[in-house]
Structure 1
Amino acid sequence: MTKSWMKRSGVLLLGLSLWLLGCASTLRELSSADALESHALDATQEYKIGPGDVLQITVWKQPELSVRELVVRLDGKISFPLVDDVHAEGLSAQMLKAVLAERLSKYITAPHVTVVVREINSKLVYVIGEVAREGPIVFRSKMRIVDALAIAGGFRQFASRDSIKLIREYNGSGPVEFIFDYDAFVAGKNLAQNVLLLPGDRIVVPPERLFSW
């Protein structure tokens, strides 16, 4: 991990912590796991490509034009045979397919193009609090709360595992929070609470309350 990335991660983590402190008293709690799951499924129906994502692009019967691994550059573009630079950031796989087919049609009759997003590296989920490794992690398709916690290295000794918070921007109405009970989940209770994550989700693992007043 480079020093610049460590510095950037530290700034992101500090900014996120300050944001959470600022809105802690205004968050609306969402108790329905089904609502969050449905929201995630709707939002990921058409994934938008971003810098760092790895694409596989196939042109039927044109092996010399097919590329198994093509990384989207930081400027949001890809370089592809015959058509040079193509802007990919913000497009779905289907949209990029149409753009490439149109560009290639100048050189190939009725090109049949397939675009697959093989790796998602442009979207982040944030895990902070009582975990081994705080900070941003790369979002993966079908990632759930438990997956993110595992990538963050699991819990520290005094983590409050039954009151983990998932904070998400929800349907344009501002952030909501959902309480995840890890202990109940691993005991086989309320398995539905392990909802799908979305890029930008924040998972907060608070410390145990050592004293109750």
Structure 2
Amino acid sequence: MTVGQGGLGMNGMRYALLLALLVGLSTCGGDKPDVTDESIQPPKAKVVEKVPVVKPMTVEERLAKLEQIKRSMKPHFVLGKGDVLSLSVYGEPDLTVKGIPVRPDGKVAFPLIGDVQVEGKTVDQVSKEVTRRLREYLRTPKVAIMVEQFNSLSYTIAGEVTKPGVYPLKGDVTLTQAFAMAGGLKQGSFRSTTVELADLTHTFLARNGKILPIDFERLLRQGDIRFDIKLAPGDYIYVPSGLSKQIYLLGEVTRPNLYAFKAGFTVSTALTKGEGFTPDADLSRVHVIRGSLDNPQLFILDMNKVLEGEETDMRLQPNDIVYVPPTYLTRWSRMLSKILPSLQMLQTGVQLTK
């Protein structure tokens, strides 16, 4: 009996995964699975309705969620090396100085009071410190500190853009401006034709460990400027390739990695490549994440029942993420917070090896 075109035999998959279980898998009961694929269903197997646990949002729902996230994520800028400040004290023109750089040691030299440590502090914190020290010389100093240049702030844009890298965040920079500064989407040659290499469906923006619900297709293809938000320090933009076909295997496996997609690739195929599981792995709730991370389809598969032939395996699609959660992690939002750092690390590794 076979599973899918070009896939492993059911017995072969069962033995391979049972061998992986002996490496140290500890499972417990979980939610009933939501996934099946009738085209690869073995005879007399139990059929489970294929329904995504998380369904894609509409455009308006994405915009509403984006506004909510923007309101909750108020920027908290701190000073760093290379920033340039100006100081003014009301009624004291001799103490007014412009173009004061933050030195490599994180300090700046102010008139009268000397060096002040500013790196890692907000402008308000530095103003209070300068005011406190000026009270030794002035009765009621009124201090104003301005940032002329925020050279220490940056964002990253990686993947299929002409000039990927880390860019300084000077002033307000929107998403479309970031793509323009990166030279636009990368193009290549395919069968003597110039083609765009970017996969905008799976492109994402991560901020403070969260994926923002931005529709890059509508923004860059249709000019929907409602998604053209301002960037914040530390933002990470990733544009995957539209030509490469990969499967991501993450979570409680021995070898989390990305693997070349092949016809007939199933969840079982992906798991055998992980070469075993950690003691915390929960095979009763293996997650398959399909589509963009900010607006995915989410499926859950009980691999214990697949091994017993009670349920069908699931055929994967290019760029699917297979995530094996630990037994103690149940909420999707918390799982995504675990997935994102691993995904960024793998993507950064791919960039470095190109």
Tell me whether the two structures share a fold, i.e. TM-score over 0.5: yes
Aligned to 1:192: 226
SS at match of 1:64: helix
- Give, in whole Å, the separation in 1 of the partners of 2:220 and 2:226: 9
Q: How does 1:40-189 map to 2 (within 5 A)?
A: 40=73, 42=74, 44=75, 46-157=76-187, 158-160=196-198, 162-163=200-201, 164-169=203-208, 174-176=209-211, 178-181=213-216, 184-185=219-220, 187-189=222-224
- Give, in whole Å, the separation in 1 of the partners of 2:125 and 2:174: 27
Task: Check the 8 A contact 2:66/2:214 in 1, yes or no.
Answer: no
- Give, in whole Å, the separation in 2 of the partners of 1:108 and 1:194: 47
CA RMSD of aligned residues (A): 2.6
Task: Check the 8 A contact 1:33/1:195 in 2, yes or no.
Answer: no
SS at match of 1:50: coil
Fraction of identical pairs, as percent: 29
SS at match of 1:106: coil
- Give, in whole Å, the separation in 2 of the partners of 1:188 and 1:151: 17
Amino acid in structure 1 at the alignment position of 2:222: A
- Give, in whole Å, the separation in 2 of the partners of 1:184 and 1:147: 12
Task: Give the superposition deviation at 1:141.
Answer: 3.6
- Give, in whole Å, the separation in 2 of the partners of 1:55 and 1:90: 14
Task: Give the superposition deviation at 1:183.
Answer: 5.2
Task: Give the superposition deviation at 1:180.
Answer: 3.6
Q: TM-score, normalised by structure 1?
A: 0.72
Runs (4 or more) in structure 1 with deviation over 6 Å come to: 210-213
Q: How has the CA–CA distance of structure 1 residues 186 and 70 changed in structure 2, closer, same or farther, with 3 Å as cutoff? A: farther
- Give, in whole Å, the separation in 2 of the partners of 1:153 and 1:39: 31
Aligned to 1:37: 70
- Give, in whole Å, the separation in 2 of the partners of 1:185 and 1:156: 13
Amino acid in structure 2 at the alignment position of 1:34: E
Q: How has the CA–CA distance of structure 1 residues 184 and 47 changed in structure 2, closer, same or farther, with 3 Å as cutoff? A: closer
Deviations 1:53-82 (A, max 9, x none): 111111122222111111111221111111
Task: Check the 8 A contact 2:79/2:119 in 1, yes or no.
Answer: yes
Q: How has the CA–CA distance of structure 1 residues 181 and 207 changed in structure 2, closer, same or farther, with 3 Å as cutoff? A: same
Task: Check the 8 A contact 1:166/1:203 in 2, yes or no.
Answer: yes
SS at match of 1:94: helix
Deviations 1:115-169 (A, max 9, x none): 1112111122001111121110012343221122122122211232633311222
Task: Give the superposition deviation at 1:208.
Answer: 2.3
Q: Which runs of 5+ in 2 are unaligned?
A: 1-55, 188-195, 246-316, 319-354
Deviations 1:93-113 (A, max 9, x none): 122111111111111221111
Structure showing greater radius of gyration is 2
Amino acid in structure 2 at the alignment position of 1:162: L
Q: How has the CA–CA distance of structure 1 residues 199 and 184 changed in structure 2, closer, same or farther, with 3 Å as cutoff? A: closer
Amino acid in structure 1 at the alignment position of 2:178: A
Task: Check the 8 A contact 1:161/1:205 in 2, yes or no.
Answer: yes
Q: How has the CA–CA distance of structure 1 residues 85 and 143 changed in structure 2, closer, same or farther, with 3 Å as cutoff? A: same
Task: Check the 8 A contact 1:167/1:176 in 2, yes or no.
Answer: yes
Amino acid in structure 1 at the alignment position of 2:103: R
Which one is further off, 96-105 or 153-162?
A: 153-162
Q: How has the CA–CA distance of structure 1 residues 161 and 143 changed in structure 2, closer, same or farther, with 3 Å as cutoff? A: farther
Total equivalences in the alignment: 177
SS at match of 1:95: helix
Task: Check the 8 A contact 1:104/1:111 in 2, yes or no.
Answer: yes
